[in-house]
Amino acid sequence: MNETAAWDTYSKQKPERRPVNAAGETTWFNWTQYPDHGPGAEVLSVPPGANVLDLGCGKGGNLAHVATLGARPVGVDMSMAQIKAAEACWPDVKLELHQAEATRFLAEGEEQFDAVFSVFGAAWFTDPAALLPAVRRRLRPGGVFAFSQRPPVEGCYGCQASYITRSEDEDPLVVKRWDYEPDRWAGLLEGHGFTAVTARVIPAPPGPRKIGTLLVRAQG
Ligand SMILES: C[S@@+](CC[C@H](N)C(=O)[O-])C[C@H]1O[C@@H](n2cnc3c(N)ncnc32)[C@H](O)[C@@H]1O
């Protein structure tokens, strides 16, 4: 089974999204794996009218929030099941959605984006040697590129296997992801010409869960 089919399977397993967050809002931006936690869309510094691209947009929750800020929201996801779910979740929001592999989408177009982001998305599941130059080419000078993902397990760096579980009778599906410590991410981005790079781990909220969220932000 290929990666696209694996993500189609993943799409059907995710629980329903909450209709409102803890603040009673119907759209919100979350960089982390925990509800109502961490920074929001301000990380992207997008003024109204900005072109904003989400790499691996999934069901489009973050992108729909970007739309409420007056930006033009463009989403890319290799999984048609995810794209269809995003269309179904946000019938009243004008999202521009593309079913495509992220690096390919970036390589095939010319339009510049004011901000590019990825939340546990294609920036985690794509070799940065291919993705970073492709993002830089499509980001306007000074535009923001930001992405989040789980931090690496100590000692496990570079390409790692990620498992998408299925029923008890089926083997899990495997996709590849790329894990590095924050300093290494900063070096990779700077090596591809990004500036003002920050890379940090946002701690988990108080409670039993201890794994934080790696958040990387840079400018083109
Ligand atoms: C864990 S989900 C996260 C979805 C969404 N960003 C969110 O926060 O809910 C990862 C998403 O990235 C997409 N994806 C993974 N690799 C990709 C790639 N190379 N190109 C485009 N989409 C990709 C998957 O199809 C999936 O929808």
Delineate the domains of the chain, giving CATH numbers in brackets. 3-219 (3.40.50.150)
Whether residue 167 has pLDDT greater than 90: no
Whether residue 16 has pLDDT greater than 90: no
Whether residue 113 has pLDDT greater than 80: yes
Banded model confidence at residue 15, pLDDT cuts 50, 70, 90? confident
pLDDT digits (tens, 9 = 90+) for 31-44: 999 999 999 999 99
Pocket lining: 120 vs ligand 1, CB cutoff 6 Å: yes
> Any bridge partners for residue 162, and if so which?
175
Sequence-ordered list of residues with C-beta below 8 angstroms from that of 197, at least 6 positions apart, any chain:
185, 186, 189, 190, 216, 217, 218
Averaged pLDDT for residues 81-107: 97
Sequence-ordered list of residues with C-beta below 8 angstroms from that of 18, at least 6 positions apart, any chain:
35
What's the rounded Cα separation, in Å, for the pair 90 and 6?
A: 23
The whole-number pLDDT of residue 202 equals 98
The backbone torsions φ and ψ at residue 113, rounded to the nearest 5 degrees and listed phi first, read -110, 145
Whether residue 96 has pLDDT greater than 80: yes
Whether residue 214 has pLDDT greater than 90: yes
Averaged pLDDT for residues 78-82: 97
Q: Whose CA is nearest to atom 2 of ligand 1?
A: 121
| CA atoms within 13 A of residue 127's CA, in its CB half-sphere | 3
Whether residue 1 has pLDDT greater than 70: no
Averaged pLDDT for residues 167-196: 96
The whole-number pLDDT of residue 14 equals 76
Pocket lining: 126 vs ligand 1, CB cutoff 6 Å: yes
Q: Atom of ligand 1 at shortest distance to CA of 30?
A: 8
